[in-house]
Structure 1
Amino acid sequence: MVQDASGTKLQSIGTDMFGRPRLSIRRNKLACFVSGIFSVFAVTLVAICLFFLLNLLHIAITGHELDGMGRFPAENSFLTGVTTALIVSMFNVFVCFITVPLVWILLGQSLGRFPHRGFATRLPYFIACLLSGACLVGLASIIPYQHFFTDTYTGSRSVALQTIAGSVLCGLLIGSLAGALTATVHLLILRPATQLRRLDTSTIHVF
């Protein structure tokens, strides 16, 4: 048994390879399961909101809505990449059979291990979710432009680079915002501060 600062006994199930106590954390698997599913819908929700705001901004500046699937003229290649990332993210729910298992693996190997390492504060959970979300959505935003990296591509390289840059940057933004929402849901279920209550400082934040 391990005691926290308030004297509450927490169940220990042995020690790991570094001699730290393995704690029996409640709702840890549930938090990873729910937040993994929620993350897919969070990406779509954030993309829809950003697309709506971008459309309103475009109407305020030009007086008309975005054409087609939110495409800008070719000279606005950076903004075209932005809208491409938004569209890809909005259809994220249709590939949930791929993204959800991938997110479960990432959450299980990051946020799922944090309580056992004694992470009681919110910051590590938010950082992990922001980084993983930004990387996943940012990389997915390159998929529509994979032809640029082939030898058969004959278009303008400068325009293509601007478009890819806009898509990747927008993907990073969407992923980070969705990651913040996912971390919030994860913490609401797990409540690590309540469960850990500041263990011995020798086991806190030690990898």
Structure 2
Amino acid sequence: MNHTPHASLMDEVYRHQRKIYDATRKYYLLGRDRLIDEMDPSPNARILEIACGTGRNLDLIDQRYPGRRLYGFDISSQMLETARAKLGNRAYLAQGDACAFEARTLFGTAEFDHIIMSYSLSMIPNWQVAIAEALRHLAPGGMLHLVDFGDQARLPIGFKSVLRAWLRKFHVSPRDDLDAVLQDLTAGRPLDMRHDYLFRNYAQIARIRAA
């Protein structure tokens, strides 16, 4: 793929962070394990993670649901280096852009039974386009699983401003209007959408099932 400005930025952000990413993020990327627990994929399910990062989620999915066909891509070659070392031949990995990808070209398959986007929307500038691209690659009856930062509305006063000032250092922008965007994207289409907040709105989780 072309090395876009965003790809270069992500490589710069994660060139060194990838080495400690999993150890540090487990304390504040909340809701990822709940997303995985709720998947319940069939034995022959095809599972894609968009912006798979270090491969942490795919690794856990393989442990929780062994034998499924796993796929992942990321815009950062640095993150993919870590993911390949972690996953070996347990997953098909490629470099790709969440906002413009053709899964058949990357993996030889165009549709997936489960697609995951875990704490990636807050780092993708054109995140609405990324969701639309994910929905385009859902198989009939497939499900898109989303988890990311929430609006922190039910947490103590001042928590939100401190958290977001810190997140900006890593080019992270929580998507407070995710629920509204998902309602617009799914309105009038054969899609069933559910959105919930977790941990007093610290995080948000959503599931969209295709008919």
TM range (shorter): under 0.3
The structure that is strand-richer by fraction is 2
The structure that is helix-richer by fraction is 1
Larger relative contact order (CA 8 Å, sep ≥ 6): 1
